[in-house]
């Protein structure tokens, strides 16, 4: 009887280990976002919520300085993020570049290093489709591994992936592909899913990213389908899906 029980326990432990390994392979394995991430983003900063979505290197450096000088970093504000305002054309090898009119080096590495020197973290915007949502800058479809490797080489800490001009595939499948690309880099990069809540991302977001948008873009209005009241209402009932490592993003 003892031998039989011992063998059953070994079998049971083997199943547990296999189950654990399966879930590690099929999740975002970065250990980040134990608390909801907080910071600054270029969206809605210089215009009417991304109408032009302008940003430049000096502005972002000044924001990083201000976050430290004001003490916001001591209160949990860690991230300095670029939205759909920074991309230039891909280079001859297909690598991402930064718009040289806004970021003179043509790379974000210099800016990332500056933000890191302030003890802060740096984030960027990508898009899952062929083009980004503003001005058709290069999207990441077909370049997932290459773009993830570029972000890791620059030292990026956060990436938001939008859903414009997306491939004809379910969002969960597409975002899981990029999750796997991030995991391959070996660098912990917080992954923000932004498919506007169209496919109930709260149901699959925890195994795919660190945060997931639950609604369309917010506009600075109250009574609107994209206004503050609508977004608050869209969060009702979603708290059970959030936990350390993955959060609903209004």
Backbone angles phi, psi at 87, to 5 degrees: -70, 140
Q: Tell me, what's the pLDDT at 54?
A: 82
Q: Has 249 been annotated as catalytic?
A: no
Give Cα separations from 3 to 9, 14, 15, 17, 169 (angstroms).
10, 17, 19, 21, 50
Angle, helices 109-117/57-69, rounded to nearest 10 degrees: 10
Q: Select the more confidently predicted residue: 135 or 34.
A: 34
99 is catalytic: no
pLDDT in tens, 25-59: 446 779 999 999 999 999 887 777 767 778 999 99
Least confident range from 33-47, 85-99, 191-205: namely 33-47
Distance of CA 11 to the CA centre of its chain: 39
Torsion angles phi and psi, residue 150, rounded to 5: -65, -45
Burial of 13 (0-12, 13-18, 19+ CB in 10 A): exposed
Q: Report the half-sphere exposure of 86 (CA within 13 A, side-chain side).
A: 28
Rounded-to-integer distance, Cα 82 and Cα 130, Å: 19
CA 80 – CA 226 distance, rounded (Å)? 24
The pLDDT of residue 18 is above 80: no
pLDDT of residue 134: 86
* pLDDT tens-digit series, residues 199-248: 999 999 999 999 999 988 777 777 777 778 888 888 899 999 999 999 99
Q: CB of 200 within 8 A of CB of 208?
A: no
Instruction: Give the best-scoring range by mean pLDDT among 1-10, 11-20, 51-60.
Output: 51-60
Distance, in Å, from the CA atom of 142 to the CA atom of 10, rounded to the nearest integer, reads 44
pLDDT of residue 7: 44
Rg for the chain (alpha carbons), in Å? 20
The residue annotated as part of the active site, out of 53, 147, 162, 249, is 162
> Considering the chain, what percentage of its residues have pLDDT values greater than 90?
74
Q: Report the DSSP pairing between strands 158-162 and 121-127.
A: parallel
**For residue 249, what is the enclosing H or E element?**
strand 247-249
- State the average pLDDT over residues 68-90: 97
Kindly report, residue by residue over 136-184, the tens digit of the pLDDT: 999 999 999 999 999 999 999 999 999 999 999 999 999 999 999 999 9
The alpha carbon torsion through 63, 69, 75, 77 (nearest 10 deg) reads: 10
Both tokens of 24, joined, read 């590690």
pLDDT above 50 for 94: yes
Phi, psi (deg, nearest 5) at residue 185: -70, -25
CA angle centred on 110, ends 107 and 114, rounded to 5°: 145
């Amino acid at each position: 009887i003892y031998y039989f029980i011992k063998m059953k326990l070994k079998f049971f432990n083997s199943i547990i280990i296999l189950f654990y390994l399966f879930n590690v392979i099929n999740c975002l394995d970065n250990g980040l976002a134990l608390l909801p991430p907080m910071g600054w983003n270029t969206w809605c900063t210089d215009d009417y919520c991304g109408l032009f979505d302008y940003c430049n290197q000096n502005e972002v450096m000044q924001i990083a300085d201000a976050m430290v000088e004001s003490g916001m970093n001591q209160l949990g504000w860690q991230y300095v993020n670029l939205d759909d305002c920074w991309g230039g054309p891909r280079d001859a090898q297909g690598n991402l570049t930064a718009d040289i009119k806004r970021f003179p080096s043509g790379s974000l590495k210099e800016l990332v290093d500056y933000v890191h020197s302030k003890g802060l973290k740096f984030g960027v915007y990508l898009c899952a489709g062929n083009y980004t949502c503003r001005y058709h800058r290069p999207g990441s479809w077909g370049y997932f591994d290459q773009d993830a490797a570029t972000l890791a080489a620059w030292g990026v800490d956060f990436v938001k992936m939008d859903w414009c001009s997306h491939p004809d595939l379910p969002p969960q499948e597409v975002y899981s592909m990029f999750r796997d690309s991030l995991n391959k880099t070996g660098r912990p990069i917080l992954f923000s899913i932004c498919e506007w809540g169209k496919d109930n991302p709260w149901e699959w977001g925890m195994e795919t990213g660190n945060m997931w948008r639950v609604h369309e873009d917010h506009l600075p209005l109250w009574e609107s389908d994209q206004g503050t009241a609508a977004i608050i209402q869209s969060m009702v009932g979603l708290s059970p899906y959030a936990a350390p490592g993955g959060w609903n993003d209004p």
